[in-house]
Structure 1
């Protein structure tokens, strides 16, 4: 009769001897680490997003106290990493202190065993926890959070569900706030015509408009503002619109302003335009004034909204970057009535927009085969296409525009006809690629396709009368002087 053996579920041992489980436990290669005297060593991480609307010192104290209470009796905080002025939407790699904490984790001799945060939203957003958890596990660093009541178990299903729900909640909070703010600003601009901040347009100045409409802000001493005419610059704006309506080009208007030495907008208000040179009027400056609908007296908002683009499409974990793009007029928010003095009538403003020079080639029969492929050998600028003597050509004016006077020390304009260049492209291709001689010589179009595919630019050097391929230094071919 066979012997009946019973196994204890508690010890894993049976009456007849050790089981396989007991043997495996005795044979462990890595014995459990002994508790460190004084408990675990914690690195505290915290974050505050804006310095102007939150006090970094009090925010740090609150988060630090919450973290200290959480780890009390389990260890002590030995290192601190606190980001100031960093949004939660930024991944850890793009927050200075968080990135430093990640770098410290990779050090085998780091001074901490675990990380503690005072609040989930201060550390993670959206799916950031799921991206960081494998890194914590890889380096053997524990994570402690108040929402979990202590240590996060990266393999526990309930902890994973908790972190996922907190991430969604954190993202929802930001999304809901953004929607509420943009909706409120649109309503304030449309219904109230309220000035919503930013630099006042050239020709206007900001004046006090009484206490802030929000009672809380008014109690803090904040004041509302409105636009009023600037007696020095407002006549300039009126003159610009009048000149454009009279048929003068943007370049001629800019050149006339520079000739009489009228300060450009950035020079007239340097404190608000510290990022601009303030040297002279340019085409872009005049165009921006002619395209600004606020000169009609109406408040206009959302002309240049903020959008978010992936920082690196190949690595979505790096998050987004904020960019600003010009909005089409159908996306503008226009006040229901005029709210500040007008510098141009609405009819005249619309008429100016209708006489703008259209973009693109006005003559579809004109074709520039080398557009975007040529650089100037003198100033390294990209050469622009032009039509000369009924032929396609390219030129470089070395930064000069018709909005300013010609500098007598500036090099002469570089002109070269397209047919002169096309004739030498096959020979240049042979020097670049060195194809099999049994193959037929390439056509000019084949060479152009190769240059665009390989992103190779050609440099025209009038001094040496040569055409050089920038992909390989020294690969060049002589060309005739084309003037």
Structure 2
């Protein structure tokens, strides 16, 4: 048996020589050493100690470290402490590297307005911006990119902002685009939107475009983040993408690309997106917005003011961006006070959370979407609509 025991530099070390000698005398599975073993310990030390090392022993694989001058023995307290120390050092180095990279990216976005990757916004396309400023990256053939208006879609973005400023609703804007057979973002760039199958404009798509500050010509970075650590302390390999607060966004000091709308127009559009007052001048509020789902179709219910009181409705997939179909399910309406009365009697609710505002705070904190709410929406189709 021959063991591939060369390190990253292609040189032999004492451990590699010993493994070569042993490989000639023993019939064991192939032994392979790659890179610096120290960084293999980054992560939760309980996982390394209780899962990884017993697995190696089960397959008669010995873990060697230069610090131990031989194989690691998990039964020795000194070796356990050494593994924990290496894990802490590896985690520290990863965090320091992450901090340096994030700081550099913040500076590049704010001071230089550099495009740092990601899909271009609808209405823009990527063009070459010259060689990479880093000499090493330039020798590898890497080049900078920047945003330029897309001749095929830029006019639609300008049209959307103009319609919004003239008083059109998001539904009417999306419906007009669908009526005119304007290609939506997932249709224009299917390679970057393989996870989206809808070929029509929706309210969320129109709202996201009108809320994107990159159409002002400024480069914006760190609008989203990926959380790997879950609430229970475990790690999610894929991560969860969440929106950052606007105060955490990094905006370039100068314009980095051609603007499709002025900054004044963009700010005015955001003011229209704020909560609008009713005809009598009052502002309507809903306690359970975004917390209720329909028991029939599973969709999130919309807040809807009906008969001078707050309520919620589910249109079962039909939106104002579409024309009414000849046959569709009846719209479900629920009164907010009836829903709160049902939720207050649920056995999982504490006695001190029976007030409407306390219930809304409780459900908003834990994002309550259990089967209880689904059953309430399903069973209330007849009696709560009265």
Offset at residue 71 of structure 1 (A): 3.3
Query: Within the alignment, does 1:261 sit opposite 2:213 as a pair?
Result: no
Query: Within the alignment, does 1:166 sit opposite 2:83 as a pair?
Result: no
2:199 counterpart (279, 303, 317): 279
The 5 Å alignment of 1:228-243 reads 228-243=148-163
Determine if contact 2:335/2:384 at 8 Å carries over to the other structure. no
Offset at residue 149 of structure 1 (A): 2.7
Tell me what 2:99 maps to.
179
2:71 counterpart (114, 138, 151): 151
Query: Greater helix share, 1 or 2?
Result: 2
Offset at residue 81 of structure 1 (A): 9.7
- In the alignment, the residues of structure 2 paired with residue 454 and residue 231 of structure 1 have an alpha-carbon distance, to the nearest angstrom, of 47
Tell me what 1:375 maps to.
294
Offset at residue 414 of structure 1 (A): 3.0
Tell me what 1:406 maps to.
324
Offset at residue 163 of structure 1 (A): 2.4
- In the alignment, the residues of structure 1 paired with residue 27 and residue 143 of structure 2 have an alpha-carbon distance, to the nearest angstrom, of 44
Normalising by structure 2, we get a TM-score of: 0.76
What's the CA shift string for 1:127-179, capped at 9, x where partnerless?
A: 53x54334546966563224233211334454344323322221122112111
Distance change >3 Å, CA 460–CA 226, structure 1 → 2? closer
Tell me what 2:250 maps to.
333
Tell me what 1:456 maps to.
372
CA RMSD of aligned residues (A): 4.4
What secondary structure does 2:207 align onto?
helix
With a CA cutoff of 8 Å and minimum separation of 6, indicate the structure with the bigger relative contact order.
2
Of the structure 1 ranges 395-404 and 71-80, higher mean CA displacement relative to structure 2 is found in: 71-80
Distance change >3 Å, CA 233–CA 80, structure 1 → 2? farther
Determine if contact 1:420/1:480 at 8 Å carries over to the other structure. no
- In the alignment, the residues of structure 2 paired with residue 159 and residue 117 of structure 1 have an alpha-carbon distance, to the nearest angstrom, of 21
Determine if contact 2:277/2:283 at 8 Å carries over to the other structure. no
Offset at residue 267 of structure 1 (A): 0.7
In structure 2, the gaps of 5 or more residues are 348-353
- In the alignment, the residues of structure 2 paired with residue 63 and residue 324 of structure 1 have an alpha-carbon distance, to the nearest angstrom, of 43
Question: 4+ residue stretches of structure 1 with deviation over 6 A?
Answer: 58-67, 359-371, 418-423, 451-454
What secondary structure does 1:336 align onto?
strand
The 5 Å alignment of 1:84-123 reads 119-121=36-38, 123=40
Offset at residue 375 of structure 1 (A): 3.3
Tell me what 1:357 maps to.
274
Q: Which has the larger radius of gyration?
A: 1
- In the alignment, the residues of structure 2 paired with residue 81 and residue 414 of structure 1 have an alpha-carbon distance, to the nearest angstrom, of 65
Normalising by structure 1, we get a TM-score of: 0.62
Tell me what 2:49 maps to.
133
Offset at residue 364 of structure 1 (A): 7.5
